[in-house]
């Protein structure tokens, strides 16, 4: 049945067997929160409701529209095609209504909402937080957190963050992601280790065997960055055990500068040390491996206008990174 209500709320998708009456706005708000977060539990946190209440509301809405809206998965839910259509119809009017009702208090009298931003510790400390300093000086309230990408994206879906700087594009349609910057990876060591390996020319001739006997300093025991470099540049598997692991690339950098061994680091992190000679680039491939970082936003977080200010400034600042 075609919806004749100009605001798009009454009679949404109702079948002939469904009970009459307009869809409850509260049910639609809950539906949109579930659709955006991909989880009944996450939607409950966003809305300040209990998870059983959200489940009951979705069952009620499904009875009302006569369709299954979400497929229950081991982790969260997946929207049906009908749910995607319904979300597209109600998102604009519901967000507009939320903005209107949220602005009843004059802006000058309403306490500002903090922006919750998270990402990798190194990128947050060296790039993101310094870029946001002008906004903080202008009154922005910022709550920063650090961590690994997958857990941070789960927390973003659950409503704990507004924005996340992620080292991989998130899966699914629940989150909005834009490319932020490319990290170029550099094979590097202190100068005395570089001399021992014979320099870039020897490495180009002998391949990674020139590094035999040089300790490896890395981020984690499974050597994620170094393995990627070896596969991309040398076309082979890295068969080496780390001498030092530090779960913070700034610690890896400090150890390599001090002479602990070699590592693979993002260029932005070690650019100053390369320029000063404290580190030497052991090999300069024509096609260095890169990794794209994304700025990921939770749908619905734009109700706080400060989120858009942070997002826009970071996207602009990243052009110079």
- Please check whether residues 128 and 224 belong to one and the same domain: no
- 25 burial type by CB count under 10 A (0-12 exposed, 13-18 middle, 19+ buried): middle
Q: Spell out the residues 6+ positions from residue 151 whose beta carbon is closer than 8 angstroms to its own.
A: none
Q: What angle do CA 274, 276, 279 make, to 5 degrees?
A: 40
DSSP assignment string, 41-60: HHHHHHHT--HHHHHHHHHH
CA distance 59 to 132: 43
pTM for this predicted structure: 0.67
DSSP letter, residue 2: -
In a domain, 260, yes or no: yes
- Please check whether residues 258 and 196 belong to one and the same domain: yes
- Please check whether residues 218 and 203 belong to one and the same domain: yes
For residue 169, what pLDDT is reported? 93
Q: Where are the alpha helices (DSSP H) in 230-266?
A: 249-257
For 181-191, the pLDDT digits (tens) are 999 999 999 99
CATH number of the domain at 94, please.
1.10.10.10
CATH number of the domain at 237, please.
3.40.190.10
User: Strand, coil or helix: what is 71?
Assistant: strand
Contact assessment for residue 296 and residue 163, using Cβ atoms and an 8 Å cutoff: yes
- Please check whether residues 133 and 50 belong to one and the same domain: no
Domain coverage including residue 240: 183-291
- Please check whether residues 309 and 171 belong to one and the same domain: yes
- Please check whether residues 255 and 229 belong to one and the same domain: yes
For 233-269, the pLDDT digits (tens) are 999 999 889 999 999 999 999 999 999 999 999 999 9
- Please check whether residues 56 and 34 belong to one and the same domain: yes
- Please check whether residues 134 and 198 belong to one and the same domain: no
In a domain, 158, yes or no: yes
Where are any strands of DSSP class E within the chain? 70-72, 77-79, 115-119, 142-146, 163-166, 176-189, 217-218, 244-245, 262-266, 280-283, 290-297
Closest by CA to 279, choosing from 261, 291, 294, is: 261
- Please check whether residues 77 and 97 belong to one and the same domain: yes
Residue 182's CB: how many other CB atoms inside 10 A? 14
> Among the three residues 78, 102, 126, which one is the final residue of a domain in this structure?
102
Number of domains in the chain: 3
Q: What angle do CA 156, 157, 160 make, to 5 degrees?
A: 45
In a domain, 11, yes or no: no
- Please check whether residues 311 and 248 belong to one and the same domain: no
Residue 212's CB: how many other CB atoms inside 10 A? 9
- Please check whether residues 91 and 138 belong to one and the same domain: no
Per-residue pLDDT tens listing for the chain (321 residues): 334 343 344 445 444 344 444 568 889 989 988 888 788 888 887 787 888 899 999 999 999 888 899 988 877 788 888 888 888 888 888 877 776 665 333 444 444 678 999 999 999 999 999 999 999 999 899 999 999 999 999 888 877 889 999 999 998 777 889 999 999 999 999 999 999 888 777 787 888 888 989 999 999 999 999 999 999 999 999 988 999 999 999 999 999 999 999 999 999 999 999 999 999 999 999 999 999 999 999 776 556 788 999 999 999 999 988
- Please check whether residues 164 and 197 belong to one and the same domain: no
In a domain, 213, yes or no: yes
In a domain, 234, yes or no: yes
């Amino acid at each position: 049945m075609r919806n004749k209500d100009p605001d798009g709320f009454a009679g949404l998708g109702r079948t002939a067997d469904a009970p009459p009456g307009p869809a409850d706005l509260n049910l639609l708000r809950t539906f949109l929160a579930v659709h955006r977060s991909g989880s009944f539990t996450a939607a409950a946190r966003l809305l300040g409701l209990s998870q059983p209440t959200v489940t009951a509301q979705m069952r009620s809405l499904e009875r009302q529209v006569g369709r299954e809206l979400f497929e229950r998965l081991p982790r969260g839910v997946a929207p049906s095609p009908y749910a995607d259509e319904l979300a597209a119809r109600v998102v604009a009017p519901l967000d507009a209504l939320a903005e209107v009702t949220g602005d009843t208090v004059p802006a000058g009298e309403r306490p500002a909402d903090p922006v919750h931003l998270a990402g990798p510790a190194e990128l947050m400390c060296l790039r993101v937080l310094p870029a946001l300093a002008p906004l903080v000086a202008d009154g922005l309230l910022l709550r920063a957190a650090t961590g690994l990408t997958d857990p941070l994206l789960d927390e973003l879906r659950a409503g704990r963050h507004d924005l996340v700087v992620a080292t991989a594009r998130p899966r699914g349609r629940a989150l909005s992601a834009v490319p932020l910057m490319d990290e170029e990876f550099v094979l590097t060591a202190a100068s005395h280790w570089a001399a021992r390996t014979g320099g870039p020319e020897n490495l180009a001739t002998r391949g990674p065997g020139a590094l035999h006997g040089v300790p490896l300093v890395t981020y984690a025991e499974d050597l994620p960055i170094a393995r990627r470099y070896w596969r991309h540049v040398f076309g082979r598997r890295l068969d080496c055990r780390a001498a030092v692991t530090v779960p913070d690339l700034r610690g890896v950098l400090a150890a390599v500068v001090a002479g602990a061994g070699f590592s693979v680091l993002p260029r932005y992190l070690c650019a100053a040390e390369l320029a000063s000679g404290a580190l030497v680039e052991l090999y300069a491939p024509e096609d260095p491996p890169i990794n794209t970082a994304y700025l990921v936003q939770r749908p619905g977080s734009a109700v706080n206008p400060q989120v858009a200010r942070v997002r826009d400034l970071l996207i602009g600042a990243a052009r110079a990174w």
